[in-house]
Amino acid sequence: MCLALPARVTAVHEDQTATIDLDGVRQRVSLMLLDGVKVDDYVIVHVGFALTRLDQAEAQKTLALLAEGGRES
């Protein structure tokens, strides 16, 4: 099973990479598959690549569902 997650872009670098933040975890990912990514954009990330941009409302909804699913009953 593959899992791609929405993450907020916190920095865009000159080498076609970006730093993303996912619930406090920061990681550098490749932007080679996307053009025009800016700081505060949300992107779908899978195995170190930003695959697509996602609007903020949809990203927040997805992240809330993931957080809800991770809570213990």
DSSP string, 2-71: ---EEEEEEEEETTTEEEEEETTEEEEEE-TT-SS--TT-EEEEETTEEEEEE-HHHHHHHHHHHHHHHS
Q: What is the pLDDT of residue 43?
A: 97
**Residue 34 in contact with residue 73, Cβ under 8 Å?**
no
Domains of the chain: 5-70 (2.30.30.140)
pLDDT digits (tens, 9 = 90+) for 3-53: 788 999 999 999 999 999 988 999 999 999 999 999 999 999 999 999 999
